[in-house]
Amino acid sequence: MGFYRSLLSLTEGKEHTNSLTSSGGVKCWGANSAGQLGDGTTIQRNLPVDVMGLSNDVETITAGGAHTCAVTTSGGVKCWGLGRYSQLGNGTAANQTNPVDVRDGIKTYLPLIGKGQ
Domains of the chain in sequence order: 2-101 (2.130.10.30)
Q: Looking at the DSSP assignment, which residues form a beta bridge with residue 20?
A: 9, 26
Alpha helices of 1-117 — where are they, by DSSP H? 2-5
pLDDT tens digits, residue range 28-53?
A: 999 999 999 999 999 999 999 999 99
pLDDT tens digits, residue range 47-99?
A: 999 999 998 999 999 999 999 999 998 888 999 999 999 999 999 999 999 99
Determine how β-strand 67-72 pairs with β-strand 58-63: antiparallel
The C-alpha atoms of residue 80 and residue 95 are separated, in whole angstroms, by 7
Contact indicator for 81, 88 with CB cutoff of 8 Å: yes
- Which amino acid appears at position 95 of this protein? N
